[in-house]
């Protein structure tokens, strides 16, 4: 890049990333040392909630709370990907099983392996912060290079937990929302009045409106009738006053 040779060997990689080479060199597939003890079915039982279908497609929503957090860290930090975050790959399942069992994983080796795979044509660039670190180490000028500012936040806080469908109970424990007990009504909070049947209430309201309208119309007609009667009486009186006398 910019005619500057860049060679990041294993020792330089560990030095710049401040990582040590300890643990199993996992490379996205089951390592030989685990083949005699690993079972996909047993791994699913280990990381999933009870009563989950173990034969279909595995989704992160079926995990226990602790495994859901670990899967979140895998997909967002350790093995970042931009799509299918809720779907669990076989690689994800193996890593979760290894973490649950207590196997130590050489994360630096796995990150380096995934970065090496990104050298293929049209492969997505992974770990851009590490790429930037290497470019700075080799004094590659970046002032005129286009860049995309990272806007997304990967903070793992209560907002992330609630996005999993979990809520805290009265004791402060995180539980699935559908498993929470119904809230205990406060004795100082007035209870809602019993709800009437909506269809009966609507019919009763309509009948009441009709009765009120009929009474209103009846009153108006009675008032008009009284006015007309008085008007006829007045006209009769006027005619009587102004009619010429009849000759005898």
Q: Do 166 and 208 reside in the same domain of the chain?
A: no
What is the distance between the alpha carbons of residues 18 and 137, in angstroms, rounded to a whole number?
Answer: 14
Answer whether residue 196 shows pLDDT above 70.
no
> Which phi and psi (to 5°) does residue 105 adopt?
-115, 135
- Rounded to whole angstroms, how far apart are CA atoms 229 and 64? 87
Say if residues 26 and 109 touch (Cβ distance below 8 Å): yes
CA distances (Å), 175 to each of 46, 64, 182, 184, 222, in order? 18, 10, 13, 17, 69
**Tally of domains within the chain:** 2
Per DSSP, the residues of 36-68 read TT--HHHHHHHHBPTT--SSS--BGGGB-HHHH
Do residues 138 and 224 both lie within one domain? no
* 115 assigned to some structural domain: yes
- Summarised one tens digit per residue, pLDDT across range 127-185 is 888 888 888 888 888 887 777 666 555 567 777 778 778 888 888 787 777 777 777 76
CB 108, CB 19: distance < 8 Å? yes
Q: Residue 206 belongs to what domain range?
A: 197-242
What is the per-residue pLDDT for 242?
Answer: 58
- pTM here is 0.63
Summarize pLDDT for 31-54 with one digit per residue, the tens. Answer: 898 999 999 999 999 999 888 887
Q: How many CB atoms lie within 10 A of CB 237?
A: 10
Choose one of 179, 213, 232: the last residue of a domain.
179
Query: What share of the chain in percent tops pLDDT 70?
Result: 69
Whether residue 248 is contained in a domain is answered as no
Q: What is the pLDDT, as a whole number, of residue 225?
A: 65
- Please, which pLDDT band fits residue 187 given cuts at 50, 70 and 90? low
Radius of gyration of the chain (CA): 40
23 in the Ramachandran plot: left (φ > 0), alpha (ψ -120 to 50) or beta? left
Q: Are residues 202 and 175 both part of a single domain?
A: no
């Amino acid at each position: 890049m910019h005619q500057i040779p860049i060679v990041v060997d294993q020792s330089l990689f560990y030095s710049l990333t401040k990582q040590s080479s300890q643990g199993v060199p996992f490379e996205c597939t089951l390592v030989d040392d685990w083949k005699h003890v690993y079972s996909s079915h047993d791994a699913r039982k280990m990381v999933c909630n009870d009563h989950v279908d173990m034969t279909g497609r595995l989704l992160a929503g079926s995990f226990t709370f602790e495994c859901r957090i670990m899967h979140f860290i895998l997909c967002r930090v350790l093995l970042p990907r931009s799509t299918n975050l809720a779907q669990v790959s076989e690689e994800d399942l193996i890593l979760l099983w290894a973490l649950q069992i207590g196997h130590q994983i050489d994360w630096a080796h796995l990150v380096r392996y995934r970065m090496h795979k990104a050298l293929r044509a049209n492969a997505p660039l992974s770990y851009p912060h590490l790429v930037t670190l290497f470019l700075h180490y080799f004094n590659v000028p970046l002032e005129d290079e286009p860049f995309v500012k990272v806007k997304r936040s990967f903070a793992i806080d209560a907002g992330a937990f609630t996005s999993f469908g979990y809520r805290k109970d009265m004791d402060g424990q995180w539980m699935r929302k559908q498993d929470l007990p119904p809230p205990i009504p406060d004795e100082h909070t007035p209870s809602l009045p019993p709800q009437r049947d909506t269809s009966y209430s609507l019919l009763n309201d309509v009948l009441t409106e009709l009765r009120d309208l009929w009474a209103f119309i009846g009153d108006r007609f009675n008032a008009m009738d009284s006015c007309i009667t008085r008007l006829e009486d007045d006209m009769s009186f006027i005619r009587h006053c102004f009619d010429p006398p009849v000759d005898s």
